[in-house]
Amino acid sequence: MFIDSSVRKAARSLKSPTSPNFAPLEWSSLVDKFKCDLSDYRLITTAIWIASQSARLRVSRLSLDPCVLGPASSTILAVASLNRQADVALRRQIKSMRRASRKDPGFIPSTDELASRPINFHETGQSLALEDVIDAAGDLIEGWLFDAAKEIASHNKRHDGFSLIDIARRAVAYYSVQRGLHNLWQQALWEAWHIDGAKGKMLWMPEDPKLATMFHAWLIRARSNSAEQYFLEEDIWRNFPREVRRKLSLRRTVVRLERQRGKSSRLIVDRPRALDKVPHYAMSRANLEASYLGDFLDQRFPKNPELSCEILLRAWYIIADAVQFLLGDVAGREFDNVNDVRGWACVLRRSDLVSVLIDALECTKQVSECVVEFLTWAPGVYKGLWGAPIVQIPGRQEVCLAGAILKGANMIRSAEIWMEKGGLSDSLAAHSRGESYEAGLRKKMLAKLQGNILLNDYSMVNFAIKKSKNFPEEIDLLIRLGSLLIVGEVKCFLFPSDPREKFNHLKKLEKAAGQALNKASAVKSNKHYIASLLGVDRSKMENMKIVPLVVVNQGFGTSLMIGGCRITDEKFLSLYLGSGSYYGNAIKVANEGLYPISEDIYSSQREAEETFEAMLENPPPLKRFIDRLQWSSFPFPTASGEPLKCATTILSDLSVEERRFAENTVRAIKQSSHQ
């Protein structure tokens, strides 16, 4: 699973091929220093190829510097471009969903499709989900912002003959390729992707296609879970009385933009009035509470005691409401003039933003300024715009708002970024955080077992087994399911978002698997002691099968087998122990609500025991994505003019059988609702 040779370890200390200081001789010398295999040679040749592409890209910049307007105007144009790209992508997604539901306008096939339906971009040949579009746009614009921030204002630069839209398009094209080369290199270095020219065409492909497919499946499952939770909350919202809706909404937020003749427009803060539709804040709050981050939302940050995820979440959506009104005047426009560009960039005075947050958050000026500072982007800030969508305009008392991020970000990822930045990371305060999570997980698993009418032969230790003179290891989770003894190593990790984080995450899972195996071995050698904890006869312990597990808080790594230990996640283990069936998908019917579709996984105690390990290996909530992921490719531009064909997986449409089943279900729902 891990491709981590001596050459790769040495390569990580060398200058990246995307750097202007790349030294090709240092890379070619790796062949002499180490015994190289095919994977190592591929890495070295890939590095040299990417370096040549990066060098030619830097030369191409001379035709029109993307920062030709100077640091302030370039920053504004960059954020405006990001917001407009997201607006175009959103409109295309809406059209795509309308086409998908044209046969029955009241029917949306599934939450999977809502989360991952690809948008076709004929200009580039790519098909991307909306979240991927926003990710890519945010990443490429960040390169532009970085260059603009370090740019020195100059009156010698000229852009005669180029309009604002021309400069924006050229800049986006330049930074798209720059970011693309960076991403290719990260994939090569950490995930062992490489260039294959064996068939006469340049192909970008992984050495381990199965693992690459799993990476995408884990991501899509996380998005689908989030989308499903979103729509469940929307259904619940309909049944809430108005006073409950009021309590769950923002107390105060931006409600309109007041235009003043001869003066700047003013953002007006008040109580939100329209509560018929569930607010994005309420849905995101509920989604976070339902996730592994729920216990930490109100916890103050060690590095920023004035702040917590809850305060930042409220501020985020207050600012997002402001963006909605600021973009109202420019929707559908190009960059015809400076005012249009400033409108798309959501420019406002920093002091005005501070005042809005003082009013809406009902906080002090100190707290408001701390919030703005924490959410302000700067070169090198942790995870960039995804945790900090406010962009300071160089040399001015104004900021831009990255509306694409504020309206389209995955809030679990943003909250993870805030926690890391604020000091609530995996490394800081990890012991107390881990113990809190483990205790909550044990409580949840016991409740699931007790509520499962199909299970009648089980027992569980509802506390952590500490290392002592009676037992040589510490065990987080110990469950007897009939003749199976589940020995769980529980881990609370952040979901990885880039190749390096994925690599490190797999390394952490490998270490956790080793710990689980050691604990399983200790259980095997101390069955009498374990029998006393579980309250079962010693004789019954002799024939039990010990199943070592790593149980993680989120789904990255689920189903992997590492050294004889299976990886699973809290959601699936909870699902399996809680019922013999699960809601594998859901159908969204306009004006009718969300209807989960139930699927059976076992029907008796015996079957639960017999299928447990097979289900861990191929869990249905993950399998439904793996089965629909198909390999395709998209073109990446190169200096030679011949595109690099990049392999990628895309989620295929529902099968004819699945769609027919969904349509029949919708028809039955509508008929029953009218009777």
Q: What is the pLDDT of residue 611?
A: 95
Residue 124 pLDDT: 45
pLDDT band at 3 (very low <50, low <70, confident <90, very high): confident
Q: What's residue 434's pLDDT?
A: 67
Closest CA to 576 of 428, 663, 449: 449
pLDDT value of position 201 = 78
pLDDT in tens, 33-46: 999 999 999 999 99
User: Which distant-in-sequence residues (6+ apart) come within 8 Å of 78 by Cβ?
Assistant: 141, 144, 145, 148, 171
Please tell me the predicted confidence (pLDDT) of residue 655: 62
Residue 123: pLDDT band (50, 70, 90) is very low
User: pTM of the entire structure?
Assistant: 0.85
Backbone angles phi, psi at 366, to 5 degrees: -60, -45
Token pair 């290719």 is at which residue? 184
150-162 in b/e form (b: 16+ CB < 10 A) is ebeeeeeeeeeee
Segment 520-543 shows an average pLDDT of 90
**Looking at residue 539, what is its pLDDT?**
82
The candidate with the shortest Cα–Cα distance to 551, out of 540, 559, 539, 541, is: 559
Mean pLDDT along residues 262-270: 83
What pLDDT, on the 0 to 100 scale, is given for residue 410? 82
pLDDT higher for 366 or 239? 366
348: confidence class by pLDDT, cuts 50, 70, 90 = very high
pLDDT in tens, 197-232: 766 678 999 999 999 999 999 998 888 887 777 777
Half-sphere exposure of 181 (CA within 13 A, CB side): 27
Report how far residue 253's alpha carbon sits from residue 269's, in angstroms, rounded to the nearest whole number. Answer: 5
Q: Which string of b and e fits 519-535 if b means at least 16 CB within 10 Å?
A: bbebbeebbebbbebbe
Rounded-to-integer distance, Cα 513 and Cα 511, Å = 5
The band of 350, judged by pLDDT with boundaries at 50, 70 and 90, is very high
| Tokens of residue 318, six digits | 């207050």
Identify the weakest region by mean pLDDT among 247-256, 360-369, 384-393, 649-658.
649-658
Q: What are the tens digits of pLDDT across the range 83-121?
A: 988 887 777 766 665 665 555 444 444 545 554 555 554
Window from 107-111, 252-256, 350-354, 357-361 with minimum mean pLDDT? 107-111
Percent of the chain with pLDDT strictly greater than 90: 52
152 pLDDT exceeds 90?
A: no
User: Across residues 642-647, what is the average pLDDT?
Assistant: 90
Q: Is 618 exposed, middle or buried (0-12, 13-18, 19+ CB in 10 A)?
A: exposed
Looking at residue 665, what is its pLDDT? 65
Give the model's pLDDT for residue 321.
93
Lowest mean pLDDT among 236-245, 632-641, 660-669: 660-669
Poorest-confidence range of 264-268, 453-457, 472-476? 264-268
What pLDDT shows up at residue 105?
A: 44
Instruction: Give mean pLDDT, residues 305-317.
Output: 95
CA distances from 521 to 349, 515, 526, 527, 547 (A): 63, 10, 9, 10, 10
**pLDDT of 564 over the 60 cut:** yes
Q: What CA dihedral angle connects 78, 79, 81 and 83, to 10 degrees?
A: 170
pLDDT of residue 347: 95
Mean pLDDT of the chain: 85
Cα gap 146→138, rounded to integer Å: 12
Cα–Cα distance between 64 and 74 in angstroms, integer? Answer: 13
Taking the C-alpha atoms of residue 417 and residue 460, their distance in angstroms, rounded to an integer, is 35
Straight-line distance from the first to the last Cα atom of the chain, in angstroms, rounded to the nearest whole number: 56
Determine phi and psi for 336, rounding to 5 degrees. -75, -25
Residue 179 has pLDDT above 70, yes or no: yes
Return the biggest CA–CA distance within the chain: 88
The per-residue pLDDT for 159 is 61
pLDDT the model gives residue 218: 94
pLDDT of residue 122: 44
Name the more confident of 659 and 506.
506
pLDDT digits (tens, 9 = 90+) for 591-607: 555 566 778 899 999 99
Per-residue pLDDT, averaged over 255-270, amounts to 82
In 3D, which of 222, 223, 267 has the Cα closest to residue 358? Answer: 267
Query: Per-residue pLDDT for 486 more than 90?
Result: yes
Q: Which position has the higher pLDDT, 535 or 330? A: 535
Element (DSSP H or E) covering residue 31: helix 30-33
Q: What is the CA radius of gyration of the chain?
A: 27
Q: Are 99 and 113 in contact (CB under 8 A)?
A: no
Average pLDDT for 124-144: 72
- What pLDDT score was predicted for residue 106? 46
Least confident residue range of 158-172, 188-202, 357-371, 518-532: 158-172
Q: Are the CB atoms for 76 and 401 separated by under 8 Å?
A: no
Where in 15-84 does DSSP place strands (E)? none
Residue 596, CA atoms < 13 Å, CB-side half-sphere: 14
pLDDT of residue 246: 85
pLDDT of residue 44: 93
CA distances (Å), origin 607, targets 452, 454, 478: 14, 10, 20
Q: Kindly indicate the confidence band of residue 423, based on its pLDDT and cuts at 50, 70 and 90.
A: confident
Q: Which residue is it, tokens 């300071």?
A: 392
